[in-house]
Structure 1
Amino acid sequence: MEIDIQFRPSYSLAIVKLVPNERIRTDSGSMVSHSADVEIETKAEGGFLKSLGRAVLGGESFFQNFWKAGAQGGEVTLAPDLPGDMAMIQMTGQTLMIQSGSYLASEAGIELSTKLSGKAFKAGEGVSMLEASGSGKLLVSSYGAIFEKDLASGEKYIVDSSHLVAFDGSMNVEALSVGGLKSTLLSGEGLVVQLTGPGHIYIQTRSPQALISWIIPQVPTKSS
């Protein structure tokens, strides 16, 4: 499988080249185009309970799409819902925590699950996490560009929870408020996440929650 990401960082498109009979799993609604001989299979991967867990706790679609190339191979192009960037991550047996809505696609050797642990948290602004594990290529997406940050062992870094895309599953994570309840209310900042290295973090430069907060007051309401 070859993945080429074009039109970065604002309107990224992933062009996925599949060898004969190869499959890629994608989030529902992410397909833009595909070769005529590429077939789609939609199913609840891992059974009903696993799919329900991903949908309720991880914020992902209950059903996922699998695109399989024909005898001559094929192409699938993918894009996320919001304008922004993508990152292709080569998984080699490690785990990766991914924010709800940032998962886009993965090879068959990668398993997705939700876990009720400190790392699979809901941090007040609608952030919930999926855990990806296994080996293969993984695509994540962002609203805005992606800023990557490497942390040394013991190094701490704080990220607004709505800007978090993904981070290494081996990292310690703690949800915090910004300077207490009063500061949180007055500053306009929400909950933040403190991550401790070593590890790698993927951060999006724009916040989907901030976009929603801006749009809602602009929507006309019926006058009484």
Structure 2
Amino acid sequence: MDYEILHKPSYALARIRMNAREQIQAETGAMVSMSDSIHMETSTRGSLFGGLRRSVLGGESFFVNTFTAEQSGEVTVAPSLPGDIEVLELRGETLMVQSGSFLASTLGIEVDSQWGGARSFFSKEGLFLLRCSGSGLLFISSYGAIHRIDLGRGERYTVDNGHMVAFDESVGYDVGRSGGWKTTVLGGEGLVCKLEGPGRFYMQTRSEDAFLNWLAPKFPKR
């Protein structure tokens, strides 16, 4: 299996070439095109309860599509919003992926919904993270371009919740106000994710919420 990411970073498209009997799983709706030699099967990934948990708790689709190459062929996948795709090769590592940023993965990656607890209860981007672990290729997507930052041990960094994409499990995080209540309400920044290294994290250069808030006043009111 090999891949290439086309049209980065604004309208990224992942082109995945598979040999016979190779498989990849993707969120429903992610597939753009595929060869005639590729067979697609829709399932709840493991069990009915697992599908429900991913849908209700993880904010992801209830179903996933598994693509199997009966002969050599290709599949192309893309996110629903204009943005970027990053491919990460996990070797027994764990990555926490913001709900909505999981695009696809090889079958060696286990994707599990994780309750974020009070830390993410007020998160603008949803209540839950996806815990992606194992060995294989993980395709994550964003609205806007993806920017990586590496944090040293004890190094702290603050990111607006709407710009989070993914981070290593080793990175500590907490959701809170950007400052005092006056700053939070009047400063336009809202709630933020406070990170502490070591580890890497990925953020997106645009926020869907910010765009929708900008767009709303443009529509005429009745």
Structure-1-length-normalised TM-score: 0.94
Give runs of aligned pairs for residues 77-88 of structure 1, distance below 5 A.
77-88=76-87
Q: In structure 2, the residue corresponding to 1:209 is in which secondary structure? A: helix
Asked if structure 1 preserves the Cα contact closer than 8 Å seen for 2:90 and 2:134, the reply is yes
> 1:156 aligned to 2:145?
no
Q: Which amino acid aligns with 1:201?
A: F
**Aligned-residue offset at 1:52:** 1.2
**Aligned-residue offset at 1:51:** 1.2
What 5-or-longer segments of structure 2 have no aligned partner? none
Structure with more strand by fraction: 2
Asked if structure 2 preserves the Cα contact closer than 8 Å seen for 1:119 and 1:173, the reply is no
Q: In structure 1, what is the Cα distance between the partners aligned to 2:31 and 2:119? A: 27
2:175: which partner in 1?
175
1:134: which partner in 2?
134
> 1:184 aligned to 2:187?
no
Name the CA shift for 1:132/1:51 in 2 (closer, same or farther; >3 Å).
Answer: same
Number of aligned residue pairs: 221
Q: In structure 2, what is the Cα distance between the partners aligned to 1:104 and 1:159? A: 22
1:112: which partner in 2?
111
2:64: which partner in 1?
64
Q: In structure 2, what is the Cα distance between the partners aligned to 1:13 and 1:107? A: 17
Structure-2-length-normalised TM-score: 0.95
> 1:212 aligned to 2:212?
yes
> 1:203 aligned to 2:203?
yes
Q: Which amino acid aligns with 1:14?
A: A
Q: Deviations over 1:99-133 (max 9, x none)?
A: 11111000000111112245983443133311101
Give runs of aligned pairs for residues 28-107 of structure 1, distance below 5 A.
28-70=28-70, 72-107=71-106
What 5-or-longer segments of structure 1 have no aligned partner? none
Give runs of aligned pairs for residues 10-29 of structure 1, distance below 5 A.
10-29=10-29
Q: In structure 1, what is the Cα distance between the partners aligned to 2:204 and 2:141? A: 9
Q: Which amino acid aligns with 2:114?
A: K
Report the RMSD for the aligned CA atoms in angstroms: 1.5
Asked if structure 1 preserves the Cα contact closer than 8 Å seen for 2:119 and 2:176, the reply is no
Asked if structure 1 preserves the Cα contact closer than 8 Å seen for 2:5 and 2:15, the reply is yes
Q: Which amino acid aligns with 2:152?
A: A
Q: Which amino acid aligns with 1:15?
A: R
Q: In structure 1, what is the Cα distance between the partners aligned to 2:204 and 2:107? A: 26
